Amino acid sequence: MKFTKLSQVGECLQIKVEEKEITGFSFDSREVKKGDLFFALKGANFDAHGFLKEVASRGAAAAVVDATYLGENFGLPLLKVPDVTEALQKLAKTIQALRKQRIVAVTGSVGKTTTKEFIATLLSQKYTVAKTPGNSNSQVALPTAILNAGGEEEFFVAEMAMSAAGHIRKLVEIAPPEVAVVTKIGHANIEYFSDGFEGIAAAKAEILSHPKTTHAVLNRQVLAYQAFQKDYPLQKKIFALEPEKGDFVLEGGWYIKEGEASSQGFRLPFSATHLCEDFIAAASVARILGLSWNEIISGAHHLKTVDRRFERIERNGFVIINDCYNASPESMEAALSNLPIPSFGGKTIAVFGEMVDLGSYSEQRHRDVAQFASKKVDHFLCYGKGCLPMFDVFNKEGKPAEFFRDLKQLKTILFEISKPGDVILIKGSRSNKLWQILES
């Protein structure tokens, strides 16, 4: 269920507008399609009102703009509102409230997208399921995903992210989850929290704040933080990997213990511990929502890693682990700990981009990761000035290392030093765009 008439949108936003068909919703002028309603957002470094001409040329049906906008409309009907972001969120909240979907929401510092994808795959063994596409998890991307969803599915699996306190609370008001999932708490966005990990944990715990939420599925690690030690009016279920204690524990990657009971044995299509952790989170949700072990195991055979997230690529006799979607100290160490072993006397090469949003932790955490990597990596290539502490550590350890400011030059050197049997890990924060190394 979604609004298909501009007049319906206007009614929701208390604006009188003409009767006109809407076929989609967008906030990115580059992705506008014919019939879309465009939301002209403003940010610290951009103002989408400057792209209305482009939006009109792409065939948009109309645009939601700031009430103070006095520029041209380029033939577009304009819906003027006091705050474009709030209008987008209000519309998504109204539409979602009209639907009968049950919602599962996922947050955490690492593994959100993969866990969301795994949950959707498992639940689809029994139910019809929709999900947020890609990493549409922000204050604007999640509401837009809701608006563009069909709305007739039994379940909607939503990924929720934040960079400040209050962000996730706003998202759960828009899409109240029946089941809320929290992966590990880590360094991601710690730059924005003066109270460090406890502040991050408190912001993530907002996913438990809605009265419609009846179940919390928590990584055992988050119980160390005060925000998750509170008494919430819901059922908490803890997931973990062997030998940790929890309500759901993946034992040896072969079977799941649920309390004193166990599933039959099975094999996952991956062995990396962080992916196994994402799976046991998804399996916990599936059990809570009524799936049998047979249905979960059947769904497990269909699980796939997400693009650029520990994605295995074989090329010219060497193995590439493309994990360059994003990076934090926790995900860096997880990737390093789960690399395949080189063959034919090959070596391990790490291509690292800098980790962003670490604030005052940045230099020391880059050094820590490099120290950890030095025990597992034979040759190190780093990109971006934030990686200089890593480069320094590798030099002191006497290991081959190069520093680059030019990605094309890095790519050239990487494939010059790579030989059959080598394993190459490519990982860094999204802003590094390290995936371009693999583009022809």
Each residue of 228-255: pLDDT tens digit? 999 999 999 999 998 889 999 999 768 9
**Domain shared by 170 and 270, yes or no:** yes
What is the rounded average pLDDT of the residues 262-267?
Answer: 93
Q: Are residues 165 and 207 in the same domain?
A: yes
In this predicted structure, the answer to whether residue 396 has a pLDDT above a threshold of 70 is: yes
Name the 3-class secondary structure at 284: helix
pLDDT score for 243: 84
Q: Using CA of residue 48, residue 51, residue 54, residue 60, what is the dihedral sign?
A: positive
197 with 128, same domain: the answer is yes
**Structure tokens, 55:** 């939006």
For the stretch 254-292, what's the b/e string if a residue is b when 16 or more beta carbons lie within 10 angstroms of its beta carbon? eebbbeeeebeebebebebebbbbbbbbbbbbbbbbebe
In a shared domain, residues 287 and 145: yes
Q: 331, exposed or middle or buried, with CB in 10 Å at 0-12, 13-18, 19+? A: buried
The last residue of one of the domains, among 262, 278, 300, is: 300
| Number of structural domains found in the chain | 3
Model pLDDT for residues 370-384, shown as the tens digit of each residue: 999 999 999 999 999
Residue ending a domain, among 300, 333, 350, is 300
Query: Rounded CA gap, 194 and 205, in Å?
Result: 17
pLDDT of 253:
66
Q: Is residue 93 part of a domain?
A: no
Report the alpha-carbon distance of residue 126 to residue 275 in Å, rounded: 23
Locate 162 and state its tokens.
């934040």
Q: Is residue 381 part of a domain?
A: yes
Residue 420 lies in a domain: yes
Position 89 in a domain: no
243 and 103 in a common domain: yes
Q: 286, 295 in Cβ contact below 8 A?
A: yes
Q: Are residues 428 and 378 in the same domain?
A: yes
pLDDT at 16: 86
Residues 277 and 416 in one domain: no
pLDDT over 90, % of the chain = 92
Residue 270 sits in the same domain as residue 320: no
Chain centroid to CA 220:
20
Name residues whose C-beta falls within 8 Å of residue 389's C-beta, 6 or more positions apart in sequence: 363, 364, 366, 367, 370
What is the per-residue pLDDT across 89-114, written as a single tens digit (0 to 9) for each?
Answer: 999 999 999 999 999 999 999 999 99
* Residue from 285, 300, 284 nearest 247 by CA: 284
The pLDDT, as a whole number, for residue 64 is: 97
Q: For the ranges 125-134, 250-259, 353-362, 413-422, which has the lowest average pLDDT?
A: 250-259
Task: With respect to residue 362, please indicate whether it lies within any of the assigned structural domains.
Answer: yes
Residue 59 lies in a domain: yes
Are 329 and 233 in the same domain? no
Digit-coded pLDDT (tens) for 185-198: 999 999 999 999 99
Domain assignment present for residue 51? The answer is: yes
Nearest to 277 by CA among 253, 303, 313: 253
Instruction: Please report the pLDDT score of residue 1 as a whole number.
Output: 62
Q: Tell me, what CATH number does 387's domain have?
A: 3.90.190.20
Distance (Å, whole) CA 38 – CA 32 = 7
49 belongs to a structural domain: yes
Interval 25-48: pLDDT, tens: 999 999 999 999 999 999 888 899
The one-character DSSP state at 371 is H
User: Domain boundary at 300, 334, 365, which?
Assistant: 300
| pTM as predicted | 0.95
Domain hosting 180: range is: 99-300
> The domain spanning residue 45 has which CATH number?
3.40.1390.10
Residue 349, phi then psi, degrees to nearest 5? -115, 130
The mean pLDDT of the chain is 96
**Looking at the structure, do residues 367 and 232 belong to the same domain, yes or no?**
no
Query: Hey, which residues does 321 pair with through a beta bridge?
Result: 312, 425
